[in-house]
Structure 1
Amino acid sequence: MNHTRLKQAVIAAVASGLLTAGSAMAFDLKGALKDAVSDQLGGNSKTVQPAASDNQNAAAQEKSAQEKLANIDWKNPSQEDEIAVGRNVTGTILGAAPLVNDAQLQQYVNKVGRWVASQSERTSLPWHFGVIDSSDVNAFAAPGGYVLITKGLYQRLSSEAQLAGVLGHEIAHIVQRHHLKVMQKQALMDAGSSFLKQKISKNKITQRALSTGAEISARNLDKSAEYEADSMGTVLAARAGYEVYGLAEVLQDMETLSSNDGSVALLFQTHPHPDERVAQLSLTSGEQIDKLSGGKTLENRLYKLK
């Protein structure tokens, strides 16, 4: 899937109601998110035909997920609220571009991602990682511990340290609740409107906030959030024992790509230019990064796509 189709699919999913609390597609995703992504994103490679009881359980889980979304406390969202929101936003992205059909790849990325996430202050989140089948060079984070990177980005990596740096950046967004805060702001603005109080239910307010979350993935956070995620993500990867320059190397590789290259068009639209990010990372974290140097790159351990 090219970058235009991926962006259009995400935005179209919002417009068509894929992201609404009552949408079965947002929760089922052709099985990709069954049992909170325990199959593909969770690393279980076995394929089992669903029994009738499984279908009943899935329906019950979907109903429970819908109820959670409809009753989110946007003034003070709980971790359970955050996970429900992230599952829904991730569903929209997977509806636009499915997971790469390679169970070993998904298991490997989950192993690396969860190790890096274990270095953060939010180890209690049920972290899930996946590689989606898109030629774009990009990555996405959703509240509650959901991280997706594109096949196009994965193919450009040359070491496990670089993968850890990329995942660390997305983990940092979740740790700092960057996306959730934007969605919370949208929900509270809607709830504070006297017109919306009269005309729109709490469920509708949640739907609008979730739409904002999907649009963030298709568009952008502010620069300060991206710079903060670069800095924190680099530190998390270093804490995990990886060479500290992994993310910087990926950004430097992106600098070599033309802004007219379709594979990075969406990335360049939704993030500061890679050279700006490298400069800011050096400015804000240079001395700290130098002190953390000496980790492993693990080029030979990077999983090779089939």
Structure 2
Amino acid sequence: MSRTTITLRAAACAALLAAAALPASAQFGGLLRNLPVPIPGVSAPAAAPAGGGDLIQMLQQSLESIDEPKEIEIGRQLAAVLLGSKPLHADMGLQRYVNELGRWISLHSTRPTLPWSFAVIDDPGFNAFAAPGGYIFVTKGLVDRVDEAELAGILAHEITHVVDKHHLQALKSKAAAGFGATLVGSQLRGDARGLVQSQVLSLIRNIYTSGLDKGDEFDADRHGVALAARAGFDPYGLPGVLQQLRTVPQDNPLFTLTLATHPPADQRLDNLEQAMGKRLDAFAGKPSVSIMQRVQAR
């Protein structure tokens, strides 16, 4: 990357980070009470999404022609596949807290009117997942290892993926690259329906096991830090998570997927340091609050 490109990106980030100085309209803790536990309209599929062919048809359209209702439907089908692999955690107090926290942060994004839903998956691994349209999941293993500011940073990172349609773009690219030729051959044999379903599942799983483009992850880090600060949280929450990831052994099975689908933590920290500098130091240093404190105080 040229020095000019780096300078232009840094300038763009500086403008975004400066926007974080806008005060939140109110504090998170006192608002968004009694929201419904997610995930509305989503249930885990027994095998493959029933509308697999419709999903592929939507992904074959230009990004501009995928309107918000179509984007939400694509996300709903992806969320169903994610829930098909692991159930939601049974603690409804924790589910409601994470949903409130995520909804509060999403209100400070550039797409506050999406039907945002946040949930905790009953899995000991350290992972977070986003799907188009505002579906975001974190694992119980992640929640157990972070405090509120760190969780806010992670959710802001995932919200940025949704806002900027990173998964939608990746799905379209993968569908265009590997799906069409196989489907044509299947249609000639008359077994397209079964292939569509299996290909859709393969496509969705591939997105979450191979990860997004490195540039998308760096952008989600930079914009996520600014979004978390704008929502009233310590902007160093996400860097704190990355510091934790730096020390994790590569062979730790609970972190395998996260480490495999993201750039190295050192690279992400260096990128954030260039973007943030000391611009957000005034918003840092807030007392650490544990998630269990929040849940038990409700």
TM-score by length of 1: 0.70
Question: Which amino acid is the alignment partner of residue 172 of structure 1?
Answer: T
Counterpart Cα distance in 2 of 1:215 and 1:99 = 21
SS of 1:299's equivalent?
coil
Residue 286 of structure 1 and its aligned partner are, at CA, apart by 2.5
Question: Which amino acid is the alignment partner of residue 262 of structure 1?
Answer: P
Counterpart Cα distance in 1 of 2:85 and 2:139 = 12
Distance 1:295 1:174, change over 3 A: farther
Counterpart Cα distance in 2 of 1:190 and 1:259 = 30
1:9-52 alpha-carbon deviations (Å, 9 max, x no partner): xxxxxxxxxxxxxxxxxxxxxxxxxxxxx964159xxxxxxxxx
In the alignment, structure 2 segments of 5+ residues that lack a partner are: 1-34, 41-48
Distance 1:262 1:206, change over 3 A: closer
Counterpart Cα distance in 2 of 1:203 and 1:126 = 31
1:148-172 alpha-carbon deviations (Å, 9 max, x no partner): 01111100112x2111101001111
Determine which of 79, 97, 100 is the counterpart of 1:108.
Answer: 97
Residue 199 of structure 1 and its aligned partner are, at CA, apart by 5.3
In the alignment, structure 1 segments of 5+ residues that lack a partner are: 1-37, 44-61
Could you tell me which residue of structure 2 aligns to residue 303 of structure 1?
Answer: 295
Residue 112 of structure 1 and its aligned partner are, at CA, apart by 0.4
Could you tell me which residue of structure 2 aligns to residue 129 of structure 1?
Answer: 118
1:205-247 alpha-carbon deviations (Å, 9 max, x no partner): 7974664233111221121111111111111110101111011
Number of paired residues?
246
Instruction: Report if the CA contact (8 A) 1:70-1:202 is conserved.
Output: no
Confirm whether residue 245 of structure 1 aligns to residue 242 of structure 2: no
Question: Which amino acid is the alignment partner of residue 171 of structure 1?
Answer: I
Instruction: Report if the CA contact (8 A) 1:143-1:177 is conserved.
Output: yes
Confirm whether residue 227 of structure 1 aligns to residue 218 of structure 2: yes
Confirm whether residue 72 of structure 1 aligns to residue 58 of structure 2: yes
Aligned pairs for 1:36-115 (under 5 A) are 40-41=37-38, 69=55, 72=58, 74-75=60-61, 76-115=65-104
Q: Answer with 242-251 or 216-225: which moved more.
A: 216-225
Could you tell me which residue of structure 1 aligns to residue 249 of structure 2?
Answer: 258
Counterpart Cα distance in 2 of 1:295 and 1:127 = 29
Q: Answer with 175-184 or 74-83: which moved more.
A: 74-83
Counterpart Cα distance in 1 of 2:218 and 2:114 = 23
Residue 262 of structure 1 and its aligned partner are, at CA, apart by 1.4
Determine which of 154, 178, 184 is the counterpart of 2:172.
Answer: 184
Counterpart Cα distance in 2 of 1:96 and 1:85 = 18
Could you tell me which residue of structure 2 aligns to residue 147 of structure 1?
Answer: 136
Instruction: Report if the CA contact (8 A) 2:153-2:224 is conserved.
Output: yes
SS of 1:88's equivalent?
helix
* Cα-Cα RMSD: 3.1
Question: Which amino acid is the alignment partner of residue 168 of structure 2?
Answer: L
Distance 1:70 1:224, change over 3 A: closer
Confirm whether residue 119 of structure 1 aligns to residue 116 of structure 2: no
Counterpart Cα distance in 1 of 2:143 and 2:259 = 17
Residue 261 of structure 1 and its aligned partner are, at CA, apart by 1.4
Residue 304 of structure 1 and its aligned partner are, at CA, apart by 5.8
Could you tell me which residue of structure 1 aligns to residue 159 of structure 2?
Answer: 171
Instruction: Report if the CA contact (8 A) 2:125-2:142 is conserved.
Output: yes
Counterpart Cα distance in 2 of 1:297 and 1:192 = 53
Question: Which amino acid is the alignment partner of residue 168 of structure 1?
Answer: A
TM-score by length of 2: 0.72
Question: Which amino acid is the alignment partner of residue 223 of structure 1?
Answer: K
